[in-house]
Structure 1
Amino acid sequence: MYNMLSTDFYSQPTLELAKSLLGCLLVKETSDGTASGIIVETEAYMGPDDRAAHSFGNRRTKRTEVMFGEPGITYTYSMHTHCLFNVVSGEVGCPEAILIRAVEPIEGIDLMAKRRPKAKKQIQWTSGPGKLTKALGITMSDYGHPLSQSPLWISDGKQISPNLIESGPRIGIQNSGEAVEYPWRFWVKDSKFLSR
């Protein structure tokens, strides 16, 4: 049985938290069953000073409101037709977040296969932020949900040694000036389930 992460876990500085989340287990319960995956890729967004962040310049909208609150809360938003899942981080009033980019399927394999019928191979089910939400059943209605309680939570999973964590520029943020180069994407070296 996995141990749900305490609210204290989320009070780490955002860049540290983005690395600490690697190896943790993301779990979603639905009426169809439970699906989970080990987090293998994250991307940090550093709020007011980060041109790539939705909250750049302290932009406070209906969409970003949850980012200004407690860390450890779900921030979902839609991009094209996809729902993307983020963990709110940073102190209250400091709107930072971590995008979960990829997970390695663990539980609910049949359920994930059914939810991702066009993906030919298992490595394609959850190898991207829009794919993993479909596979796990995470939706826009999870916005604002505390990650320390069901039906959506994060548990400890497997320990990832620091020498297996790699970092580099974030993906898909071309129009964000100098922020394009920040090495704030983190991943587990040699994982087959990375986004690209």
Structure 2
Amino acid sequence: MLSEYQKFFTGRPTPQIAKDLLGRLLIFHGPQGDVGGWIVETEAYVGEQDSASHAFGGRRTNYSESLYGMPGDLYIYQIRSHYCIDIVVQNQEEPQGVLIRAIEPAVGVEQMIKNRGQDGFNLTNGPGKLMQALGVQSRSMDGQPMERAKLKVDLKAERHVPQKIEAGPRIGVNAKGKDALKPYRFIVAGNPYVSKMKRRDADDLTHGWRD
């Protein structure tokens, strides 16, 4: 039987879960204290039929095995030298996931700056950047249930509510893939920590949140 935490990550379409994660608190209980921030950008990957998914065409390896786990499990993977956090969604053996692409720093910001060696919007405006800022630079938590992991989405924390959510194509996927242009990337419109956000489009007053 699924826990209430796990139920959040299944029972509805993956793009809907990806949108619902915007404004949620991503937190890491790290060795130097808690660090984290509000999720401002996500991407949905819808499994074996999705040309951008690690499971496309039924591809399954030891590396991606966690993607076939329980809803709410961590799938931590590496692209070149960058680590990324993907959350497993849907039922076990359905390899769908949501990539967390960017967060707005909110907890332990000074430690995050130390971890990254820089500050400003560039601190966490990309999937590899946010993991470096959190201080997570290994796959040691890959496959762990977030409910009990040190890295998790805190569903009990009060959610920041976006004024507007915008959808568009995912970033960095194979442009020739049949699903390359699917609108599976979701952002808090106007938030300056969204990756590739143009300064003229950023809302420096509200960061795209409701009061």
TM-score (norm 2): 0.85
Aligned residues: 189
Task: Write 1 or 2 for the structure with the bigger share of helix.
Answer: 1
- Cα distance in 1, alignment partners of residues 53 and 176 from structure 2: 9
| 1:103-137 deviations in Å (ceiling 9; x for gaps) | 000011111110111x3x42111000000001112
**Equivalence for 1:76:** 76
Secondary structure of 2:153's aligned partner: strand
- C-alpha displacement at 1:160, in angstroms? 2.3
The one-letter code matched in structure 2 to 1:37 is G
Give how far 1:159 is off: 4.1
* Contact 2:72/2:145 (8 A) holds in 1: yes
Corresponding position of 2:99: 99
Deviation at 1:52, TM superposition (A): 0.6
Q: Deviations over 1:65-108 (max 9, x none)?
A: 11112110000111010001100012211101111000000011
Higher relative contact order (CA closer than 8 Å, sequence separation 6+): 1
Cα distance change of structure 1 residues 175 and 190 upon mapping to structure 2, 3 Å threshold: closer
| 5+ long unaligned stretches in structure 1 | none
> When the two structures are superposed, what TM-score results if normalisation uses the length of structure 1?
0.91
Displacement of 1:21 in angstroms is: 0.5
Q: Output aligned runs, 1:136-151, within 5 Å.
A: 136-138=134-136, 139-151=138-150
Aligned to 2:55: 55
Partners in 1 of 2:185 and 2:88 — Cα distance? Answer: 16
Distance, in Å, in 2 between the alignment partners of 1:6 and 1:70 is 11
How many angstroms apart in 1 are the aligned matches of 2:123 and 2:45?
A: 24
For residues 65 and 109 of structure 2, the distance between their equivalents in structure 1, rounded to whole angstroms, comes to 34
**Equivalent position of 2:123 in the other structure:** 125
RMSD over aligned CA atoms reads 1.5
TM-superposition CA deviations, 1:149-179 (whole Å, max 9, x none): 2411111342425x61110000011344221
> Is 1:134 matched with 2:132?
yes
Once the two structures are superposed, residues 30-58 of structure 1 have per-residue CA deviations (whole angstroms, 9 ceiling, x without a partner) of: 11111011000000111100111000012
Runs of 5+ unmatched residues, structure 2: 197-211
Contact 1:48 1:56 in 2 (8 A): yes
Aligned counterpart, 2:31: 31
User: Mean Cα displacement is larger for which, 123-132 or 141-150?
Assistant: 141-150
- Are residues 1:116 and 2:116 paired? yes
